[in-house]
Structure 1
Amino acid sequence: MWKAIRTGAAGLLVALSSSSALAHDGRHGGHDDHDECVDLSGDFVSALVGGPGCASPVGMCTAGELTGDIEGVYAFTMTSMIPVSDDPAETTFQFTGNSTITTADGVIYGEDSGQLTFSGDFAFMTFVRAVDGEGCYDDISGSLLATGNLDLITGLTSGGWEATFCGVEQCFDDDDWHGDHHGGGSCRSR
């Protein structure tokens, strides 16, 4: 069942990334035809964070590392978590939260919505909408989809991510970068 959810979510990201709604939903009210959108991907690992370092009202925070087309660290704070049904045996929950991705070139702030299953391989997915940025990501819009698994014994999560971001062409370099970009101009990468 989770594989179907993950496949559906990936299909949704592909459909949304090709629409103007995804590329033009940023805090600056959208981009014109001269802005580049870039397709990015990579992997992540993270650990559960508890205690005073976690400001989550539901007690779920993670801190980790992104690798791939964007390299940096990230922090996630879950702000809500509710079961997908009223069944007391339900093990799948929908959640919301906030993410911060910090790279050598700037910071990306995102709002998360996703799903986590507390059974089987503890699969999860989160859809992160970029809502603000600093440094080279100052004019960012778009989103990131991460899918992975949570290990409750070790407290570690791992998986992969895919993103389509616009207004970040200054963050990537055509000489080093292996992803796809749409539009004109040059790109710079880490």
Structure 2
Amino acid sequence: MEKKRKEEKEAIRLAKDIYAFPCGSKPYRREYPPQSYQLCQESPPRRLGDSLPYGCHIVILNNCEFAIYIWTTRSREGQNIAVQPNSQWAGTRYQVAGGVDIKVTTSPDGILTAAPRYTFTYDWVGDVIWYGVNDLFGDPFGSHRVVVVPVNATGPACHEINWPAGFPVRGRTKARGCGPATDLHVNLCGLPVPPPP
């Protein structure tokens, strides 16, 4: 058991090293939509290992052998975004009253058909980004590991969320909180395998 725990910690450390990118610039403010603030730049889907643009992001890494489909409560970033296997999507982090939901399904138009969905939710309150995950209408990644990894982690409640079997171990997951310089990487179907040296 201890050996497995050490291996998991090492895999998470490597994932942080591989996909870490700076996120400490001063945010700029631009009204869109009214009464919300865009804080970073957007990024289209990319292949795993590609460098990410400078900025503050929520990154969804598709380590699965199948495509996933992303929907956000921020329509400006688009809906039903297909992310192919071994690719990633980086979404802009926003400060919006009520928070932001990023929903992931394994079928196209899954939100429209009540397909099982995985939801990553975050809410930026003051100097803390609170985040959590849940499933609805089933477990789209059942039997596949799901891990949320804070990169450049700051704050006492800034911890990973680990669902070894693709769903919460105790029926639900407590919210976590990180400082504003932290990026959050959602790894679907396990952690990425680091490239050979």
> What is the TM-score normalised by the length of structure 1?
0.28
The structure that is strand-richer by fraction is 1
> What is the TM-score normalised by the length of structure 2?
0.28
Bigger RCO (CA 8 Å, 6+ sep)? 1
